[in-house]
Amino acid sequence: MNLTSPTKIKEILDKYQIKPSKSLGQNFLIDKNILDKIILASNLSKKDIVLEIGPGIGTLTQELAKLAGKVIAIEKDHDMVNILAETLKDFHNIHIIEGDALTLDPKPYTLYPKYKLIANIPYYLTSHLIRTFLECENPPQEIILLIQKEVAQRICAKPPFMNLLAVSVQFYATPEIISYVSKNCFLPAPKVDSAIISIKDIGSRIESSEFFKIVKAGFSHPRKQLANNFCSALKMERKAVDAWLLKNNIKPNQRAETLSIEDWKNLAQGAEGLGDRV
């Protein structure tokens, strides 16, 4: 079934008397070229297990199922689940689960020794999903997502334009923008453009609470100097903060956005002697 055809999508939605839901971020992919790019980047074989969030009417799902061994797709909207029963009826390697990815315990889906997370997700889920899957006990081998362009750019930022989200992702993995995607590739068209992002080299869970305490303190007021942020957020004396920064080759007047992942790791390692504040 050609599920990238706008006429076909409209026909299906009409048949089930459904209007795309804004609050569920329902913007269906209608561009075959973009679909091909996601599939190519996914590098799938029959050995792969794919987890998809928000399959919609099954456009991406059916292409994933043609190449992968198994696709597990989690969809919140009951109407979409009914549609999927029709559009994907010829596939026997797709398992649809009706559920909410926001409140979902990822454990049952991450028990496979290896799996890939591949999806065109509703934008409001982006940070939550990425955080959940990077931090879970058994993270995916690889994540490929179609997300809002600005968020993709923020995730891939480098010093001196870093931000908390970029540090949070790059601490665990290597993100890369595969392609930009025009808002006209969706029905209905959202307000903003999108991008395909791949997140690779995902490390297993490292003890990270101390690391993120420091990073969050550093970004507590992104426009302010790092030393001031640490003094107030970690309740430390200026002298101790300056010495800690200088020891790690960071100037106290630098801003958090200029620090690399390596800098943050050094700071976290060097924080052991700083007492219980960190």
Residue number with the shortest CB distance to ligand SAH?
A: 54
Q: Residue 25, interface with ligand SAH (CB under 6 A)?
A: yes
10 Å CB burial of residue 62 (0-12, 13-18, 19+) is buried
Beta carbon of residue 46, minimum distance to ligand SAH (angstroms, whole number): 22
**For ligand SAH, which is the closer residue by CB, 124 or 161?**
124
By CB under 6 A, what part of segment 173-232 binds ligand SAH? none
**For ligand SAH, which is the closer residue by CB, 135 or 242?**
135
In the sheet that holds 142-148, the strands lie side by side as: 94-98, 70-75, 49-53, 116-120, 142-148, 194-200, 174-181
**Of the candidate residues 42, 120, 168, 229, the single one contacting ligand SAH (CB under 6 A):** 120
**For ligand SAH, which is the closer residue by CB, 129 or 217?**
129
Beta carbon of residue 95, minimum distance to ligand SAH (angstroms, whole number): 14
Show the CA angle centred on residue 5, arms to residues 47 and 76, nearest 5°: 60
**Count of residues near ligand SAH by CB under 6 A:** 23
**Of the candidate residues 18, 24, 97, 157, the single one contacting ligand SAH (CB under 6 A):** 24
- The residues, ordered by sequence, that sit 6+ positions from 236 with a Cβ below 8 Å of its Cβ are 230, 274, 277
- The residues, ordered by sequence, that sit 6+ positions from 240 with a Cβ below 8 Å of its Cβ are 274
Q: Residue 26, interface with ligand SAH (CB under 6 A)?
A: yes
10 Å CB burial of residue 207 (0-12, 13-18, 19+) is exposed
By CB under 6 A, what part of segment 47-76 binds ligand SAH? 53-56, 59-60, 74-76
Q: Residue 44, interface with ligand SAH (CB under 6 A)?
A: no
Nearest CA to 261 among 192, 141, 178, 171? 171
- Give the strand pairing for 70-75 and 94-98: parallel
Q: Residue 4, interface with ligand SAH (CB under 6 A)?
A: no
In contact, 38 and 118? CB cutoff 8 Å: yes
Q: Residue 130, interface with ligand SAH (CB under 6 A)?
A: no
**For ligand SAH, which is the closer residue by CB, 84 or 162?**
84
The torsion of the CA quartet 73, 78, 80, 85, rounded to 10 degrees, works out to 70
Q: Residue 80, interface with ligand SAH (CB under 6 A)?
A: yes
Q: Which residue has the tokens 């101790």?
A: 240
Beta carbon of residue 104, minimum distance to ligand SAH (angstroms, whole number): 7
Contacts with ligand SAH by CB under 6 A lie at 24-29, 53-56, 59-60, 74-77, 80, 100-102, 120, 122, 125
